[in-house]
Amino acid sequence: MNIRDLFGKKGILNDFEIIEMTEVYRINEDGTKISTIGFFKKKEIAEAFAQSQIDANYHKTDSAIVLTNGIVAYLVDAKGPLKIFNDEEEELELRKKIIAKLSPQERKIMGIE
């Protein structure tokens, strides 16, 4: 199931819940996360899995908040709410900024002034 399959469907999330899981991921030589291996319900299992890998030094674990139905999970950023812009207000502000960059002659040609 793809997250896009849920777009616009009402009641589809009845089987889903938000829970904390443990992510196992790979890091590079600098310690930067490069890819996610998977998620585990039990932290102890995730840590044991990471430590059992041949290149265990390049595997780490961290807690993650996910939306899941037990079969598929989608990562939810728990760092706080997202800022949602008002499209119409931002469009007006962008238009003002664009017009402000035009010379008086260009504005006249465009029929703005």
- What pLDDT band is residue 13 in, cutting at 50, 70 and 90? confident
What is the distance between the alpha carbons of residues 89 and 108, in angstroms, rounded to a whole number? 25
pLDDT at 79: 65
Q: pLDDT at residue 96 above 80?
A: yes
What's the pLDDT tens digit per position in 19-77? 999 999 999 999 999 999 999 999 999 999 999 999 999 999 999 988 888 888 888 87
Residue with the bigger pLDDT between 5 and 21: it is 21
Query: Residue 8 corresponds to which tokens in the numbers above?
Result: 């616009």
Vertex 34 angle, CA 32 and 37, to 5°: 125
Q: Structure pTM?
A: 0.63
Say which amino acid occupies 5: D
What is the distance between the alpha carbons of residues 113 and 111, in angstroms, rounded to a whole number? 6
Q: pLDDT at residue 88 above 90?
A: yes
